[in-house]
């Protein structure tokens, strides 16, 4: 499955209000819920936190990719969020995170989950992709 099929206008936020990691995760989960991608917002958030306990999903260069496989997912989806101020997410490089990709996959869909994570990873190392995303003025541009 192509990542572009998993990102919809309703799952893009170019100005996250969150100030903390907890708030960022909640805001991204709320977007997925509002777009009809989840059966249970609270369960999916709990599953995201379980995954975070295994290892932080904040990476270098301001990127965070929180993800979980969960029974709470009705339809696979990716939420994209941009923080204009950056959030202390506990990233490997100690820098603030400002670009978030939250992947929601149904439990048991291992192949799809790994495939989409690989596609996200490929996009973020693509020259100019992250900068273009940060500069987007509308969800359509993103």
Residue 94 scores a pLDDT above 70: yes
Say if residues 11 and 80 touch (Cβ distance below 8 Å). Answer: yes
Say if residues 67 and 115 touch (Cβ distance below 8 Å). Answer: no
Query: 115 in a domain, yes or no?
Result: yes
Query: Structurally, how many domains does the chain consist of?
Result: 1
Work out the average pLDDT over 82-101. Answer: 96
In terms of phi and psi (left: phi > 0; alpha: psi -120 to 50; beta: otherwise), the region of 110 is alpha
Say if residues 32 and 38 touch (Cβ distance below 8 Å). Answer: yes
DSSP letter at 100 equals E
Query: 108 in a domain, yes or no?
Result: yes
Query: 41 in a domain, yes or no?
Result: yes
pLDDT tens digits, residue range 11-31?
Answer: 999 999 999 999 999 999 999
Say if residues 58 and 94 touch (Cβ distance below 8 Å). Answer: no
**Tokens in use for 120?**
């996200």
Which pLDDT does position 139 carry in this prediction?
A: 93
Query: 16 in a domain, yes or no?
Result: yes
Query: 140 in a domain, yes or no?
Result: no
Which pLDDT does position 93 carry in this prediction?
A: 94
Which pLDDT does position 136 carry in this prediction?
A: 94
CATH code for position 63? 3.40.930.10
Domain with 101 in it: 3-135
- pTM reported for the whole predicted model: 0.95
Residue 106 scores a pLDDT above 90: yes
Say if residues 25 and 42 touch (Cβ distance below 8 Å). Answer: no
Residue 53 confidence class, pLDDT cut points 50, 70, 90: very high
Give the C-alpha separation, 62 to 43, whole Å.
27
Query: 142 in a domain, yes or no?
Result: no
Residue 1 scores a pLDDT above 70: no
Which pLDDT does position 87 carry in this prediction?
A: 97
pLDDT tens digits, residue range 56-78?
Answer: 999 999 999 999 999 999 999 99
Query: 73 in a domain, yes or no?
Result: yes
**Tokens in use for 105?**
């996959």
Query: 141 in a domain, yes or no?
Result: no
Say if residues 34 and 70 touch (Cβ distance below 8 Å). Answer: no
């Amino acid at each position: 499955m192509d990542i572009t099929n998993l990102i919809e206008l309703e799952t893009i936020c170019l100005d996250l209000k969150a100030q903390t990691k907890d708030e960022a995760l909640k805001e991204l989960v709320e977007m997925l819920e509002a777009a009809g991608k989840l059966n249970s917002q609270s369960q999916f958030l709990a599953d995201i936190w379980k995954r975070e306990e295994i290892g932080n999903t904040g990476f270098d260069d301001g990127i965070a990719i929180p993800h979980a496989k969960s029974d709470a997912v009705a339809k696979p989806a990716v939420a994209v969020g941009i923080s204009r101020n950056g959030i202390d997410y506990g990233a490997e490089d100690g820098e603030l995170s400002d670009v978030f990709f939250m992947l929601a996959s149904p439990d048991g869909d291992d192949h799809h989950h790994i495939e989409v994570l690989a596609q996200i990873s490929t996009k973020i190392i693509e020259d100019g992709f992250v900068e273009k995303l940060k500069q987007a003025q509308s969800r359509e541009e993103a």
